Amino acid sequence: MEAERVTMKRVTIRQVAREAGVSTQTVSRVLNERPDVAAETRKLVREVIARLDYEPSAIARSLVSRRTYTLGLITSDFTDYFFTQVFVGATEEARQHGYYFMLSSTEHNSEDEPECIRLLTQHHVAGILLARPGLQSDDDRVLRLLRGGVAVVAAVYHPPGAQLLTVDVDNVDGGSQATSCLLNNGHHRVAMIAGPARWRSVCDRATGYRAALEAAGIPYDPTLIVEGDWSYASGYRAMRQLLAGGCVFSALFAQNDRMAIGAIRALREAGRRVPDDVAVVGYDDIPVAEYCDPPLTTVHQPMQEVGRMATRLLIRAIESPGGLGEEVRLKAYLVRRDSCGTPVAS
């Protein structure tokens, strides 16, 4: 009564060799595109491979060659457009170099990050791309684990004091651009909905915000700042809180577009028009930004490019190790749409 197990034996290199009347070595050479095979032999072997529908076992290959062409990606939230874009860029770049990514996301509980890393190291990943915010405790944990010979590149994540390769977007500049846009449009009281404080990017954008205020000679007022968690709902709540607090403000810089859109909903419900009563600038340039009402002015980040660049550095670190730490910082730029209002006539 046992289920019939069709174990469907795979064709091995040995069968190809026998069929072609050569040694397994020769087949191996053909597979690896070595030059030292007679053109005729090569052709014959190729034919046999095609006829038998032979596919080399990546597992056996990497066991002996000690190269897996596998990279690990540790990220936090796949639902977020931001990370999805990093992933898309990284995947594409990896494929061009013959590598592929093993995913390992720490979605819900970051408790299981050690387990994620174990999955990756047990599969002998050649390198790891860290694309998630810095959490408190894990820095040394991660780094110790990873110093075991795996290359590491951090995207949008800066382990303090670690000398490693990082790729990031200039968040100070981005925050400054967003804020300046609002100031240039004549606003003096600019509220900010920030992301979670433990994110480096949050601090940086806040720094940009303060710098822009300072440059405009406008005092910094901490009561205008509320923290969200990047979600639409948190943006909505944050704006309700600002409104309930009776703060006076005529503009808002939200540190991501989702919170901006949540905040706009709260403003609308409170009878405040955007941009007439409150001008709004978001961050990320998610696809819906162009289509919401009003179309959202936002800071565009080249996230695919971040993923691509990080992967390029990672592969370089794998293939020629011993390089030094390096930080690549890409620029973000403001995309002007209706939500920020218009410049004041000078």
Partner DNA sequence: GTGAAAGCGCTAACAT
Partner DNA sequence: ATGTTAGCGCTTTCAC
Among 18, 46, 61, 200, binds DNA (CB under 7 A): 61
CB of 230 to a copy of itself, least distance (A): 11
Q: Whose Cβ is closer to a copy of itself: residue 78's or residue 220's?
A: 78
**Distances from the Cα of 315 to the Cαs of 122, 131, 231, 232, in angstroms?**
19, 16, 34, 36
Rounded CA separation 263/273 (Å): 12
Helix axes 113-122, 138-146, angle to 10 degrees: 10
CB of 83 to a copy of itself, least distance (A): 10
On whether the CB atoms of residues 139 and 150 are closer than 8 A, the answer is no
Which amino acid, one-letter code, is at 92?
E
**Distances from the Cα of 258 to the Cαs of 66, 84, 193, 285, 305, in angstroms?**
44, 15, 11, 10, 21
Q: Whose Cβ is closer to DNA: residue 31's or residue 143's?
A: 31
Q: 43: which residues sit within 8 A by CB, 6+ positions away?
A: none
Answer yes or no whether residue 12 interacts with a copy of itself by CB under 8 A.
Answer: no
CB of 85 to a copy of itself, least distance (A): 8
Rounded CA separation 270/288 (Å): 23
CB of 67 to DNA, least distance (A): 7
Answer yes or no whether residue 25 interacts with DNA by CB under 7 A.
Answer: yes
On whether the CB atoms of residues 238 and 270 are closer than 8 A, the answer is no
Answer yes or no whether residue 79 interacts with a copy of itself by CB under 8 A.
Answer: yes
Q: Which of residues 66-95 bind DNA (CB under 7 A)?
A: none
Residues making contact with DNA (CB under 7 A): 9-10, 12-14, 21-29, 31-32, 36-38, 40-42, 56-57, 60-61, 63-65
Residues making contact with a copy of itself (CB under 8 A): 3-8, 10, 55-60, 62-63, 68, 78-79, 81, 84-85, 87-88, 91-92, 100-103, 105, 107, 118-119, 121-124, 148-149, 231-232, 236, 258, 261-262, 264-265, 268, 287-288, 290-293, 320-323
